[in-house]
Every structure is written in C-alpha cells, then in structure tokens.
Amino acid sequence: MADLSVLTGGRAGDGINSAGLLVSHLLNRMGYSTYMYFDYPSLIKGGHNFTITRAADMPVGACREKVDIVLALNQDTIDLHRDLMHDRTVVIYDSGKATADGQGVPVEEILKEEQAPPVMGNSCMIGAFAGAAGIPFTIVEEVFGTQIPRGLEKNLAVARRGYGSATRVLHIDRGHEGPFSLLSGNEAIGLGLLHGGLDAYVAYPMTPTSNLLHFLAGVAEDHPLTVVHPENEISVILMAHGLAYAGKRTAVGTSGGGFCLMTESFSMAGTNEVPLVVVMGQRTGPSTGLPTYTGQTDLHFMLHAGQGEFPRLVVAPGDITQACAWSARALSLAWTCQVPAIILVDKTLCEGIAPLRDGAFPPLPDENHDVPAGGRYRRYTITASGISPMLHPPVPGSAVKANSYIHDEAGITTERADVTVRMTEKRLRKGESLLHEIMRLDPVERSGREGASITLLCWGSTLPVCREVAGNLDFRVVQPVVLSPFPGEQLKRALSGAEQIVAVEENALGQLAMLCARNGITVDTSVRKIDGRPFAVEELERRILEVA
C-alpha cells in the first residue's frame, strides 16, 4: 500500500502553503489520493510554517505521526520536526539555508545561474523533491502549467535544475486515482454555495474563513456575484438580511468572535423568517484563543445562539466533499424552510486541502412558493407546514412587511397573547418541516464495518481520521452531518446494535456526547483533544485502544 507523507517547512511569508500545494498536485497527478494539512502561527513573516502532504492509494484526510520526506526551506524545519521523522525519513534541504543529513540543494547558486528571482527558490526545491521521489518531470510540467500563473518558463527552468540536482531515493509508482480537483475546505464551501444558487456573500475577514471571502471575491471579479466586506460583522449579517429580504440568496462567513456579533441578527432571522446562511469556522477558544488552530468547541453555542426559540439548521460536514454538498443543501434548505442555517466547520476542514469526490454537487429541489391567489399578499400567512409563501419586493399591489416583533400574518406588530401563541406554534411546525426535509437527505453518515463491536461517533472534521482508524481496527463510524434539527431517529438507527460507542471530539466537554445524552442516546466513552491540533491517525488509534 502506498502511503507517503511529505513535510514542507519554512518561514512564514515564504510561500510554504503554495509549495505544499504543489507537492500535493504532483502526487495527485501521480494517481494518488492526497490530503494536505497547513500549520501556521498568527503572524505574517518570520515564524515557522509547515504543510504535511499525505498521498496514498486510498482516500485519506488526516496526517500520520511521522513523515517520509522533509522539504526544508530553512533550518527550523529540520530542528523543530525531529519528532516527526523516522529512521528512513529523507531530508531535502536548501543547502544555503540549512545543514542536515540528506540531500542539499544549492538553491542560491541555481537561481543565480538561471538569473531567477529569490521567490523561485521554492520551484527549485519542488523540482528536487520530484527528482528525489522519482516523479517524471512531465508531471512537474503539467502541474506548473496549471498552478503557476506567472513566469512559467523560468520556474520550470529552475525546477529542472533542482530536479537534476536530486538523487532518486524513492520509487513512486503511478497510482490509479484521480487526478482530482484539489480544494481547500473554504473553496469547497464556496463552490457548494454557488451550486446552491448563491447571489451574494458578505464577510469581515476572520481566520479560518477569510479565505472563503478571498475566494469568492476572486470569483466576483469575473462573474455576477455580489461580494462585500463591510465595516464589521454586525453590518455583515444585517446586509445579508437586507439582501435576502429583497430576494438574493446570501451567505456570510466568520469565526466564533465574529459570530457573537451576529447573534442578535441571527435571532432576528428566527422572527422575521429571512433565510440566512452563516459559514462558521471554529478555532481554538475561548475568545481570541489560538486563532490559527482548530477546535470543535462551539457546537452548543451554535445550537442555542440568539434569544428566544426558533428552528435553525446546523450542518457539520466532515470532509471536502460533504462541505461542498452540504453547503449547497444548507443554502437551499434555508430558502425552502425560511430558517437561518449554520455551516459549522473548523480550521482543519477550512484550510485543509483534499480532492473533491463524487456527490459534491447534489441535485437540489426547486423552491417555488405558491402564493394563494386573490387578496393582498401576507408575508406570514399561517400554513400547516409552518412555512409561509415568501415573496420579495416589488410585489405589485402588496406591501411585503418583515418584522422583528411578534407580528400578525401581514407582518404588523402585535402584543396579543393568542397571536403570540399561534406564531410560536407556526415556528415549531416549520422546525418539523425542516426535519422532514432533512430526513430525506441522509443526515447521518455511516462507514466501516456494519456489525463491528465498536462504533466511533464523530462530527465535523474528525470524520476522515475516524474513518481511517475504523478501517485499520475494523470499527464502524457514525457521523451525524446534521446537528439541528437533531436527526435522533436516524442516529439511533445508525447506532443500533453498537456494543460500545466511542465519541471522538476535539473539545473538552464532549459536546456531541452531551447532545446525544439530551436525546436519549448514551455514549459509552469519549476521546477528546484540546490542544488545537487535529488528531493524527496513530494518535487516535492509541487513544481509542486505551479506552475501548
């Protein structure tokens, strides 16, 4: 079984993320499934950044504890990562910047001779990597051709010299997968939203969803998509309210701190029934916490944010493909059921890079809101489903009235007890309708061996690592993708027959386990991680075997 891990490290600001991505693309074109993790502190230049690209002949979505190749753009990369190296780890390093046992690449000399600027140093190292790994240079040419927009010739020249300078130490055969489109989670969410009919995206930058803003702002350069970055998150969500009220499918993106500022208007969506979608990227908290590291600590906050009670959709995709598919569905469901929706992700998923697989672009229902003929339009008409026909201004002859107060069917404020009850009941029925829609969409994913004695229960970005561990240990995995409305029946069914349920979560309190307990599902034991770093495969295996 092929399974290769490549660590690419260097100073922040030196393009480590791009270099790691090129490594991924090379291995992608070689016919492997890849996964890339990007680790960086909160600073712009000078600190240490690294990526780990893993390539295998099966789907992977997590790192292993050791790497096979280290591509060192500086000395730190060698010194800081000794614990990640094994006996046969090959170190390829820029010999002008580091010394090590391994293959030195005289980057500076090569650049000088090729009259190339210093930024092309990474191309030289990538070339050396390809040479050492036995990747045909034609693949380097293919990858550079699509991935390097400027100075292709010169970059290739430099890469060829790096390639030539390397001794072949590995013999990677061609694999049989892909090639896939490699996407970050943010990009996958963006594409999913676009598939779901996104008209507008509004956001204020915040790790780990800033790159979704950047991605969609790029799309908006060439396409009729409205992308706005306003003065703060309060403005973000209120602009979204305005856009959606007037008929544009709108999403916003943020992280915990920014979401806090949105909660008041999130609750407003509960009452005024304006469909909103929030992409919410978790990171290590509380408060500013570790802004560039991961966590799964905001589940219950998302389930309950905002005063008052109202139905909401919370989906927590587990990998790139689910992220794309469920972002599309979230936008579509928010509009069908006129509820606020949260796409709950985290730094691991947002900034990890992996192949987009089948199922990323599900068919979506047409939403048409039949408006009863005759008489004036009433925005909040009471219906059996709890869902009122939604029109947007202009509606000839009618006023469309949205209202944050308790209101009557026409949207006029009321303080009457009976109307308050009827409108609350309408909201509850809308929640039922939403649950009904969810039921049809397989809200609980299962994999691994049916009938296995141990079931790993997980949510969000721990899915791939759980899948791999379950594969290795012959366990089963159950993942509720939808967390609100809670698919209790499906989850119970998926878990039926489980002898031992082990919840795997990247938080301290066991938030999914809490949610299960509330719904009458008992988790037997938990494995938790709280240091801001995602589980490595062997780490999770060890931790599970300790308790299971």
Partner 1 sequence: MAERTLITGTQNTWCPGCGNFTIQFALRNAIQKLADEGVPLETIVLVTGIGCHAKMADYLDINSFYSIHGRTIPVATGIKLANPELTVLCCAGDGDAYAEGLDHLVFAAKRNSDITVIVHNNRVYGLTTGQYTPTSPLGFRGRSTPGGTIEPPFNPLSLMLTSGAGFIARGTTRRMKELEDLISRGLRYRGFAFIDVLQICASYFNVGELYDRQGYALSGHDPADFEAACRKAEEWDYNRDAPIGFGLFYRQEKPVFEEQFDHRRLTAADREDMIRAILAAKR
Strands 85-94 and 67-72: parallel
Site for ligand TPP (CB under 6 A): which residue of 96, 134, 218, 257? Answer: 257
Region from 2-10, 52-60, 241-249, 298-306 binding partner 1, contact rule CB under 8 A: 241-249
Site for a second copy (CB under 8 A): which residue of 99, 518, 542, 545? Answer: 518
Site for partner 1 (CB under 8 A): which residue of 2, 85, 217, 371? Answer: 217
Instruction: Round to whole Å and give the CA distance between 503 and 247.
Output: 41
Counting contacts by CB under 8 A, is residue 398 touching partner 1? yes
Counting contacts by CB under 6 A, is residue 204 touching ligand TPP? yes
Report the site for partner 1 in 10-39 (rule: CB under 8 A). 13, 28
Counting contacts by CB under 8 A, is residue 304 touching a second copy? yes
Counting contacts by CB under 6 A, is residue 205 touching ligand SF4? no
* 152-188 core/surface letters (b: 16 or more CB in 10 A; e: else): eebbbbbbbbbbebbeebeebeebebbbbebbbbbbb
Site for partner 1 (CB under 8 A): which residue of 80, 405, 493, 531? Answer: 405
Counting contacts by CB under 6 A, is residue 44 touching ligand SF4? yes
Counting contacts by CB under 8 A, is residue 62 touching partner 1? no
Counting contacts by CB under 6 A, is residue 49 touching ligand SF4? no
In the stretch 413-432, what mask flags binding to a second copy with x, by CB under 8 A? --x-xx-xx--x---x----
Counting contacts by CB under 8 A, is residue 268 touching a second copy? yes
Q: Which of 210, 209, 252 is nearest to 234 (CA)?
A: 252
Counting contacts by CB under 6 A, is residue 206 touching ligand TPP? yes
Region from 126-134, 142-150, 251-259, 326-334 binding a second copy, contact rule CB under 8 A: 251-259
Counting contacts by CB under 8 A, is residue 246 touching partner 1? yes
Counting contacts by CB under 8 A, is residue 264 touching partner 1? yes
Counting contacts by CB under 8 A, is residue 41 touching partner 1? yes
Cβ–Cβ contacts within 10 Å for residue 414, how many? 17
**Cα-based torsion angle of the residue sequence 130, 132, 137, 141 in order, rounded to the nearest 10 degrees:** 20
Site for partner 1 (CB under 8 A): which residue of 221, 370, 418, 546? Answer: 221
- Give whichever of 89 and 271 is closer to a second copy, judged by the CB atom: 271
* 311-346 core/surface letters (b: 16 or more CB in 10 A; e: else): bbbbbbbbbbbbbbbbbbbbbbbbbbbbbbbbbbbb
Rounded least distance, CB 518 to ligand SF4, Å: 44
Instruction: Determine contact, residues 308/243, Cβ cutoff 8 Å.
Output: no
Region from 84-92, 188-196, 202-210, 245-253 binding ligand TPP, contact rule CB under 6 A: 202-210
Where helices occur in 484-547 by DSSP H, the ranges are 488-495, 511-518, 537-547
3-state secondary structure of 79: helix
Angle 190-332-413 from CA coordinates, rounded to 5°: 115
Instruction: Determine contact, residues 461/345, Cβ cutoff 8 Å.
Output: yes
- Give whichever of 45 and 176 is closer to ligand SF4, judged by the CB atom: 45
In the stretch 214-233, what mask flags binding to ligand TPP with x, by CB under 6 A? -------------------x
Q: Name the residue with tokens 């500022």.
A: 261
Strands 476-480 and 353-355: unpaired
What does 204 bind: a second copy, ligand SF4, ligand TPP, none (CB cut-off 5 to 8 Å by kind)? ligand TPP
In the stretch 416-445, what mask flags binding to partner 1 with x, by CB under 8 A? ------------------------------
3-state secondary structure of 253: strand
Report the site for ligand TPP in 165-194 (rule: CB under 6 A). none
- Give whichever of 114 and 264 is closer to ligand TPP, judged by the CB atom: 264
- Give whichever of 215 and 486 is closer to partner 1, judged by the CB atom: 215
Rounded least distance, CB 429 to ligand TPP, Å: 27
User: What is the distance, to the nearest Å, from the Cα of residue 285 to the centroid of all Cα atoms in its chain?
Assistant: 18
Rounded least distance, CB 246 to partner 1, Å: 3
- Give whichever of 131 and 285 is closer to ligand TPP, judged by the CB atom: 285
- Give whichever of 169 and 234 is closer to ligand TPP, judged by the CB atom: 234
* Phi-psi group of 256: left, alpha or beta (phi > 0 → left; psi -120 to 50 → alpha; rest → beta): alpha
Q: Which of 380, 418, 384 is nearest to 399 (CA)?
A: 380
* DSSP H or E stretch at residue 53: strand 48-56
User: Which value, in Å, is the radius of gyration of the alpha carbons in the chain?
Assistant: 25
Counting contacts by CB under 8 A, is residue 234 touching partner 1? yes
3-state secondary structure of 390: coil
Counting contacts by CB under 8 A, is residue 533 touching a second copy? yes
3-state secondary structure of 246: coil
* 536-548 core/surface letters (b: 16 or more CB in 10 A; e: else): bbebbbebbeeeb
> In angstroms, what CA-CA distances link 63 with 127, 228, 452, 465?
23, 35, 25, 8
- Give whichever of 12 and 238 is closer to ligand SF4, judged by the CB atom: 12
- Give whichever of 146 and 368 is closer to partner 1, judged by the CB atom: 146
Counting contacts by CB under 6 A, is residue 210 touching ligand SF4? no
The answer for residues whose C-beta is within 8 angstroms of residue 495's C-beta and 6 or more apart is: 455, 457, 478, 501, 521
The token pair that represents 190 in the structure block: 């963006």
Chain residues binding ligand SF4 by CB under 6 A are 44-45
Chain residues binding a second copy by CB under 8 A are 41-42, 255-257, 259-261, 263-264, 266-268, 270-272, 282, 284-293, 295, 297-298, 300-301, 303-310, 404-406, 415, 417-418, 420-421, 424, 428, 507-509, 514, 517-520, 530-533
Chain residues binding ligand TPP by CB under 6 A are 204-206, 233, 257-258, 261
